[in-house]
């Protein structure tokens, strides 16, 4: 069986990679893809904490799985809305690079 620590480390590495993507990319769609990676890292952590029980019965219910299902739902809604916003801005600015979205600068 897999130690919980290794799953947590996998989740941390995936979260860090996603964080690097969010901070370093210029294209808004690539930022959304990196956010999906971060959400998946959190999901892995939730499911691992619910599925791996350490003998004491500390995590004996399925709340982690349920929260992961809700996170997937919210992620689907978020991707739909965010890509609609990206398409809308692309219509006005002909670009999806976030450093060119300076409409509110004065």
Partner 1 sequence: MMHFIVFILISIVLLGCSLGVVLSKNIIHAALSLLIALLSVSGIYLVLLTEFLAVVQLLIYGGAIVIVILFALMLTRNDDYPRISNHKLWPIAGVIAISVMVTLSAAYYKTYPIQPDMIQEATVQELGTSLFTTWAIPFELASLVLLVALIGAIVIARSDKGDN
Q: Restricting to residues 67-106, name those near partner 1 by CB under 8 A.
A: 68-70, 72-81, 83-88, 90-91, 94-96, 99
Place of tokens 């670009």: 95
Contact 4, 71 (CB under 8 A): no
CB of 27 to partner 1, least distance (A): 6
Least distance in angstroms from the C-beta of 41 to partner 1: 9
Element (H, E) at 1: none
Which residue number, 52 or 101, has a Cβ lying nearer to partner 1? 52
> Are the CB atoms for 87 and 32 separated by under 8 Å?
no
Compute the least distance from the CB of residue 60 to partner 1, in Å. Answer: 8
Site string for partner 1, 13-52 (x = CB under 8 A): xxxxxxxxx-xxxxx-xx-xxx-xx--x--xx--xx-xxx
- As measured in angstroms, the least distance from the Cβ of 101 to partner 1 is 13
In 67-95, which positions are buried (b, 16+ CB within 10 angstroms) versus exposed (e)?
bbeeeeeebeeeeeeeeeebeebeeeeee
């Amino acid at each position: 069986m897999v130690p919980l620590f290794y799953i947590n480390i996998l989740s941390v590495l995936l979260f860090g990679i996603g964080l690097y993507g969010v901070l370093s990319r210029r294209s808004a769609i690539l930022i959304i893809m990196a956010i999906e990676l971060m959400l998946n890292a959190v999901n892995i952590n939730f499911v691992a904490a619910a599925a791996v029980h350490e003998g004491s019965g500390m995590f004996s219910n399925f709340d982690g799985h349920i929260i992961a299902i809700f996170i997937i739902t919210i992620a689907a809604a978020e991707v739909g809305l965010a890509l609609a916003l990206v398409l809308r801005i692309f219509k006005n600015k002909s670009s999806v690079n976030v450093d060119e979205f300076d409409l509110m600068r004065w």
